[in-house]
């Protein structure tokens, strides 16, 4: 054995703990689809027909204010050729899958009610969700938002969580797409407490250990910067011991906490960008998704009001996408057309350029770029996201890139899409 081999063995030994920690803390993409949005519905307004109803209402408002390709192009200030590419795809999406991720809300969207009233609403909503799961009409991702683990609402949040999970478990309706949202997190200890609560609830209701997952809503400045000057949101992810699936930015709670006047609270305010920058860095390499928040300017009222709100929504969604944040919140059925138009336009506009670079990377040739493996993975992930939401078709990928879905997933360092 050479002196070099001795040195290499010594370094392996010295770095063994660091290697193991890196793998444990930063496992990389978890290989699952990220929804393009999360829709919030108040807990007492959800029933088995909610997803279909949202789709119908979205199609109605699209028919009223974007009746044709050219009218949609005018309304949303799109290039006509791009509107042609997205129009029928968006209408098909509203028929097939109007909501990708649904959250039944027992926090701000529901408010504070007497315990008996919330109990009844929780049980009714859980039973309705179970019906849709069994019927195959549930959105691919779905779950509930409980009240926070701050002292005043902790017991109510825990009670709602236990009742909801108990109903779903009794109906054998807990799926891989089930997610719980923990709002207004202010400490790492709250995340650890949520893990302990899920351990106990799984045991109580016969749910497989470790299967319940949750999102952390970043709505407080304490989540971004702790009293010791550290970014607590990074510690929160790891305190979740594999149960945390996402970080969701809360536009209005966070902005208000920093003293931003109501008229200026927005997804694009500098305080919002700072928070989301920290969230993205904290989540990088962990397999945890980052989601933007919402706009509260709704597409309701007369034609001018609807179109103005649509244009704002399209611009904000596109802004998030270009910043590498692929998910946001929607609060009203009339936001679905603008959500999908903006998302589909983003992937359609970038498809040919990304495909040309991938084809050259895989098969050889000159794309004008010297792409490295990390950039090729990003290009493939871009195309794969477009495929998963419906903006891009599988036959297009094969024609443009010359790879099948399995090959694309490998390039993106992902598992094969379902």
Proportion of the chain above pLDDT 70, given as a percent? 99
CA dihedral sign, ordered 294, 299, 300, 301: positive
Q: How many CA atoms lie within 13 A of 212 on its CB side?
A: 29
Number of domains in the chain: 1
184 neighbors 219 (Cβ within 8 angstroms): yes
> Considering the chain, what is the average pLDDT of its residues?
95
In a domain, 50, yes or no: yes
247 neighbors 283 (Cβ within 8 angstroms): yes
Proportion of the chain above pLDDT 90, given as a percent? 91
pLDDT higher than threshold 50 for residue 358: yes
58 neighbors 94 (Cβ within 8 angstroms): yes
Task: Output the domain CATH number for residue 173.
Answer: 3.20.20.60
CA dihedral sign, ordered 33, 35, 40, 46: negative
pTM over 0.85: yes
In a domain, 55, yes or no: yes
Q: Which range marks the domain in which residue 144 is found?
A: 37-346
Summarised one tens digit per residue, pLDDT across range 266-298 is 999 999 999 999 999 999 999 999 999 999 999
| Geometric angle at alpha carbon 42, from 36 and 47, rounded to 5° | 90
Residue in 130, 165, 159, 129 with CA at minimum distance from that of residue 147: 159
What was the pLDDT predicted at 1?
63
In a domain, 46, yes or no: yes
What's the average model confidence in pLDDT over 166-180? 97
In a domain, 376, yes or no: no
What was the pLDDT predicted at 31?
85
What's the average model confidence in pLDDT over 60-84? 93
What's the average model confidence in pLDDT over 312-332? 97
In a domain, 379, yes or no: no
In a domain, 199, yes or no: yes
In a domain, 110, yes or no: yes
In a domain, 364, yes or no: no
Summarised one tens digit per residue, pLDDT across range 1-60 is 677 889 999 999 999 999 999 999 999 888 889 999 999 999 999 999 999 999 999 999
């Amino acid at each position: 054995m050479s002196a070099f081999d001795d040195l290499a063995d010594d370094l392996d030994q010295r770095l063994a703990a660091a290697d193991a920690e890196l793998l444990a803390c930063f496992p990389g993409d978890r290989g699952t689809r990220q929804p393009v949005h999360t829709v919030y519905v108040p807990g007492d307004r959800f029933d088995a027909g909610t997803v279909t109803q949202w789709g119908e209402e979205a199609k109605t408002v699209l028919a009223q204010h974007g009746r044709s390709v050219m009218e949609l192009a005018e309304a949303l200030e799109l290039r006509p050729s791009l509107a042609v590419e997205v129009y029928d795809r968006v209408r098909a999406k509203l028929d097939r899958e109007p909501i990708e991720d649904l959250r039944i809300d027992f926090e701000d969207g529901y408010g504070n009610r007497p315990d008996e009233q919330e109990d009844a609403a929780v049980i009714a909503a859980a039973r309705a969700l179970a019906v849709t799961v069994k019927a195959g009409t549930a959105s691919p991702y779905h779950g509930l938002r409980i009240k926070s683990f701050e002292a005043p609402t902790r017991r109510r949040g825990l009670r709602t969580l236990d009742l909801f999970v108990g109903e779903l478990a009794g109906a054998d309706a807990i799926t891989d797409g089930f997610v719980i949202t923990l709002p207004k997190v202010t400490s790492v200890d709250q995340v650890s407490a949520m893990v302990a609560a899920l351990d106990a609830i799984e045991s109580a209701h016969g749910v497989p250990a470790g299967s319940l997952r949750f999102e952390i809503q970043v709505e407080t400045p304490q989540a971004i910067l702790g009293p010791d000057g550290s970014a607590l949101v990074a510690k929160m992810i790891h305190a979740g011991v594999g149960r945390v699936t996402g970080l969701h930015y809360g536009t209005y709670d966070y902005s208000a906490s920093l003293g931003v006047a109501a008229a200026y609270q927005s997804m694009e305010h500098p305080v919002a960008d700072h928070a989301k920058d920290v969230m993205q860095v904290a989540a990088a390499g962990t397999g945890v998704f980052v989601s933007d928040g919402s706009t509260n300017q709704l597409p309701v009222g007369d034609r001018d009001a609807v179109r103005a709100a649509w244009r704002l929504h399209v611009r904000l969604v596109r802004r998030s996408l270009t910043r590498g944040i692929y998910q946001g919140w929607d609060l009203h059925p009339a936001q679905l057309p603008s959500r999908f138009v903006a998302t589909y336009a983003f992937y359609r506009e970038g498809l040919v350029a990304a495909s040309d670079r991938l084809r050259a990377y895989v098969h050889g040739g000159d794309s004008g770029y010297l792409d490295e493996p990390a950039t090729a993975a990003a290009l493939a992930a871009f195309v794969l996201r477009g495929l998963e939401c419906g903006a891009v078709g599988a036959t297009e990928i094969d024609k443009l890139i010359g790879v099948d879905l399995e090959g694309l997933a490998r390039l993106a360092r992902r598992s094969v899409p379902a």
